Structure 1
Amino acid sequence: MTNHPLWNLSLAARLGLLKPGTQRIAFLYPQPDVGTFRYRAFNPVDAINNHSTKKSASYFFLSDLRAIDDLSTFADVLVVVRVPFDGPLERLYRKFRHQGKKIYFDIDDLVFNPEFAPLVATNLGYHQLEGDHLNQWTAFMTNIGKALSKADAVTTTHSFLAERIREFTDNPVHVFSNSLNAAQLEVCSRLSSDQGTQGSLRIAYFSGSPSHSLDFEVARHGIIRFLHESPDSSLTVVGHLELSSELRALGSRIRSLPFMDFLAMQALLATCDVNIVPLQRSVFTHSKSELKYFEAAAASTITLASRSPLFSQVITHGANGMLANADEWAQVLHALSAMEVSDRSSIAQAAKTHAEATYSPSALLSQLEAIF
């Protein structure tokens, strides 16, 4: 469980966010965290309550269901976020259905389809997953898929994942993007833009989970080559990534920091020239969202990402970011390093403008109003 001052409200206070006379939307998630819960429950609630006069929203956790006899008496719409199907969830579905209220299931990756269990396990780094452990993982995905199928409709993060969901269910599928929240934008409004020095780069890699080590491997050789050829450049790694001996050999030019609060991350991003997002090529990684792009963009930092379907859609190479194939990382880093600082600033500003227009709370509300 990950508590945070932004979502440290009591159950009574969270119930109080659902306002009479509005369409009341309840988001249900297993327990608070800074990942899926923040993007798929807290941020939508934050956007609705700060920008809508016709809707109100709140977030709840599975533990709350022991204290709330019937959530359907407080809410008009239920959005179940990544909760596996079980007895308590079946009873909650039944209560909302009894009152003729709609149920949505929200999912942000491939864990709804047990056919993908081996692929998901491999991409997460569980290469030796077998026997009971694989059965448990498959059972979890089966129950996620069951909860999704028993809802009235599905929401997800982008069109590529929406198509995978439509291959699995006949339920209507809607998209609302992951987004920035008001606190992130407020932090970014106080940051100063610094595009560094021509001829060198301050590279940053943010690893939110151990599985990202496989993604980093896609670019590792190109990054190491670039760092050897650009002695004034550096790399900062944040989070769950074990540094290779080749990187450790670069000494003080490599900085390793522990996983950090997402608001502190915005400030750190502003001190870097380029945020790198290498990705393996698989349906699993292609189902991940573009959050690493827009969070860096909000801090006026350029993103260099793998040419996945989604990143190729949101980034125009050389305009609001940079893209690289697996064999191009050193080449594109050199090209970015050689740019005039003013040209880097133009790319960073274009990314910031795009992020603020597309991933802000008000932009999110427009998407939500088209769904609920």
Structure 2
Amino acid sequence: MFTDLPEPPSSVKDLWDSSMAERVGTMLDGEHRVAFVYRTPDTSTFRYRVANTVDALNHEPAGRLRAGWFCDDELRALTRIVPELDAIVVARYPWNAALRELAQKATSHGVPMIFDCDDLVFDVDFAELVMSSLGKDPDVNAEWDVWFAYMGRLNASLAACRGATTTNSLLASRLSGYVEDGAAIVPNVLNRTQQEYSRELLDAKVAGRWRRSGPVTVGYFSGTPSHVRDFAVASTALARLLDEDDDVSVRIVGYLDDLGALEPHRERVEFQKFMHYVELQRSIAEVEVNIAPLSHTAFNICKSDLKFFEAAVVGTWTVASHTPSLDEAIEDGVTGRLAKAHEWDAALHEAVALARDTTAYADRALPAAEDAHARWAWDSVAEPLTRALEPYLRR
């Protein structure tokens, strides 16, 4: 495990810690104004698809476009300022009465709505696949009620939109069939606080000559309780690795408690609870190997590359499943390692051997980190988002 890393900032002002009045003021101060709507602030989709992008737009020095985000209990207030807007981005917001009123007002004033979604959850034809991917019991009727309702409402929101934005080409091709103006790709990126602290962690590794101690630690950073099936892709190979090598340990952060094949080695597994995303960067930085296994389904192959770049920016090596986004993000064997289902044993052994060779590890991890800091920089999203919204900037 890497040592002597700086502690997280003592206090972090999250991008969503602001009043509606502040957000409206910032948005209306721009030559062009875009409102993002989302159910309620959270640390996953909202952070990456709304808060990070809004913040990047509002800190673009030469930008003509300013933005604000608005949640459930703010939609009716937002309706009153629709005539001042150029566009409304509906970020994975299920159809309801407040959104209907907002859509009606937008239509009457010629303000277009754009749908944003980062998962294959807007078509009920995929409801059973989504349930299966998330480990939901198909014999429980309540699960069908929940997922058909949620995905059907998202589809109704999509139907009210002229265009769409999303994270990758697969989702863009799915969305394009639903909207008049097609779909544009707006990637996930870091935010300013996350990137600044990640740079501090990386610099500390370099200054400390990538000093580490104790067992090589393999980290799995679970975002939701539904990742049991994904973890199972790598857990059998990971269990074999622990059988063979007494100097390897595992860190699991988040909700996962079902170890599957790794259960006999539970005493060598460190569990950390779900934590703030800035603190998470330190936890990722401490481990030598980050794993991002995904079961091969139509739902998972639409996943983005954030599990790779969150690790790359702090100088941690990643072994990941093949998906279009991860294939594009990772130069196999150079910036990380891509593994098919039958390749996890070899990939994990390679990663552990690499971790034990400090010079070789640094020679790969540092260039990968510098590339990630440039490619997924907080300010890199303003240009593709502005380009996607350009047709709607009517003022």
What's 1:313 paired with?
328
Comparing 108-117 with 301-310, which one deviates more in the overlay? Answer: 301-310
Measured after TM superposition, the shift of residue 5 of structure 1 is 3.5
Verify: 1:99 aligned to 2:109, yes or no: yes
What's 2:66 paired with?
56
C-alpha change, 1:55 and 1:164, in structure 2 (3 Å) is same
Verify: 1:263 aligned to 2:274, yes or no: no
Of 209, 234, 239, the residue aligned with 1:219 is 234
- Assess if the C-alpha contact under 8 Å between 1:199 and 1:337 holds in 2: no
Measured after TM superposition, the shift of residue 82 of structure 1 is 0.6
What's 2:25 paired with?
16
What's 2:297 paired with?
282
Comparing 66-75 with 56-65, which one deviates more in the overlay? Answer: 66-75
Verify: 1:247 aligned to 2:256, yes or no: no
The letter of the residue matching 2:242 is L
What's 1:41 paired with?
50
The letter of the residue matching 2:128 is P
The RMSD of aligned alpha carbons is 2.1
C-alpha change, 1:68 and 1:168, in structure 2 (3 Å) is closer
C-alpha change, 1:99 and 1:321, in structure 2 (3 Å) is same
How does the TM-score come out when normalised to structure 2? 0.88
- Assess if the C-alpha contact under 8 Å between 1:29 and 1:37 holds in 2: yes
What's 1:153 paired with?
163
The letter of the residue matching 2:53 is P
Verify: 1:291 aligned to 2:306, yes or no: yes
Of 249, 262, 274, the residue aligned with 1:234 is 249
What's 1:185 paired with?
195
- Assess if the C-alpha contact under 8 Å between 2:95 and 2:156 holds in 1: yes
The equivalences for 1:63-212 within 5 A come to 63-191=73-201, 192-193=204-205, 195=210, 201-212=216-227
Comparing 107-116 with 322-331, which one deviates more in the overlay? Answer: 322-331
- How high is the sequence identity, in percent, across the aligned residues? 35
Verify: 1:6 aligned to 2:23, yes or no: no
2:66 partner SS: strand
- Assess if the C-alpha contact under 8 Å between 1:153 and 1:172 holds in 2: yes
Measured after TM superposition, the shift of residue 21 of structure 1 is 4.6
Of 366, 371, 377, the residue aligned with 1:349 is 366
What's 2:383 paired with?
366
1:65 partner SS: helix
Comparing 187-196 with 134-143, which one deviates more in the overlay? Answer: 187-196
The letter of the residue matching 1:26 is A
Measured after TM superposition, the shift of residue 146 of structure 1 is 1.7
Superposed CA deviations along residues 253-291 of structure 1, whole A, max 9, x for unmatched, are 310111111000001111111110000001100111111
Measured after TM superposition, the shift of residue 6 of structure 1 is 3.0
Measured after TM superposition, the shift of residue 201 of structure 1 is 2.6
Superposed CA deviations along residues 217-263 of structure 1, whole A, max 9, x for unmatched, are 01111001112212111110001111437635435531011111100
C-alpha change, 1:131 and 1:316, in structure 2 (3 Å) is same
Measured after TM superposition, the shift of residue 332 of structure 1 is 1.0
Measured after TM superposition, the shift of residue 149 of structure 1 is 2.1
Comparing 306-315 with 340-349, which one deviates more in the overlay? Answer: 340-349
- Taking the aligned partners of 1:367 and 1:44, their CA distance within structure 2 comes to 10
- Taking the aligned partners of 1:166 and 1:66, their CA distance within structure 2 comes to 29
The letter of the residue matching 2:349 is H
Q: Any unmatched runs of 5+ in structure 1?
A: none
- Taking the aligned partners of 2:93 and 2:13, their CA distance within structure 1 comes to 21
How does the TM-score come out when normalised to structure 1? 0.93
C-alpha change, 1:75 and 1:39, in structure 2 (3 Å) is same
Superposed CA deviations along residues 99-143 of structure 1, whole A, max 9, x for unmatched, are 222211101101100000000011111023543431332122112
C-alpha change, 1:174 and 1:225, in structure 2 (3 Å) is same
2:74 partner SS: helix
Q: Any unmatched runs of 5+ in structure 2?
A: 1-11, 390-395
Measured after TM superposition, the shift of residue 197 of structure 1 is 6.1
Comparing 354-363 with 64-73, which one deviates more in the overlay? Answer: 64-73
- Assess if the C-alpha contact under 8 Å between 1:200 and 1:337 holds in 2: no
- Taking the aligned partners of 1:282 and 1:98, their CA distance within structure 2 comes to 41
Measured after TM superposition, the shift of residue 153 of structure 1 is 0.1
2:15 partner SS: helix
- Assess if the C-alpha contact under 8 Å between 2:23 and 2:68 holds in 1: yes
1:270 partner SS: helix
